[in-house]
Structure 1
């Protein structure tokens, strides 16, 4: 795993009432949720980025008010057709 240093003002931790480790974890989740919502990454990849299981990531999606299914009608039809084969 690669480590990326990031500098943040000390005030962000107190503003969100989180210690630095909790803040970084929440940043990972927030980024993964947004990238998933935009359709940039799959649910499995988003869970990996967030450092969560898939079930935990689905719970995070709920917390951020993001639908756990991000399919267009056409994509859903294609997925359902695969299940029939």
Structure 2
């Protein structure tokens, strides 16, 4: 099943003229920021579902607030710096 999904993703990206680029091996530092941001997006999605957002304008409005209040103004736990 995973192979079929992988093939479908490759096909879909090719139709959109999007090239797949993999991170170099042992490049944990370069991937950590992206992984952390994905966690932030997952947190936002959970909040958006709870709020039952209905329109794209409303979603964009809450996303902007979420980024400013949660992501940009929250101190990084490991180094005590802001994102």
TM over 0.5: no
Q: TM-score, normalised by structure 1?
A: 0.28
Work out which of the two has the higher radius of gyration on C-alpha atoms and give 1 or 2.
2
Greater length-normalized contact order (CA 8 Å, ≥ 6 residues apart) = 1
